Amino acid sequence: MGEFIRNCRLCKKQMESGPFMMCTTCLVESDRIRSLIVKKPHVSVEEISLATNVPVEKVERMVDLGVRREGAQQKNKLYTLF
């Protein structure tokens, strides 16, 4: 059977299927961004981009994915309460 190829959820580049939805590059960048936000929670997207060397567009996509994921988790929590 051949390898299963899919696209990275963030940069949309092709990657081998694995346990993560993002490629290795995007995972590393997302860790850098998370670390910065933990240290400075009120930092702007532009400041995140400058501090981590990740393009603004990519930071914005990460924020969008995080917001969607958070909303889904809240929805699931509501279901578990009832």
pLDDT (0 to 100) of residue 20: 85
Global pTM?
0.70
Q: Distances in Å between the alpha carbon of 47 and those of 2, 28, 31, 43, 44? A: 43, 18, 16, 6, 5
CA distance 53 to 7: 22
**Which residue did the predictor score with more confidence, 10 or 70?**
10
Q: pLDDT band for position 67 (50/70/90)?
A: low
**Which residue did the predictor score with more confidence, 41 or 51?**
51
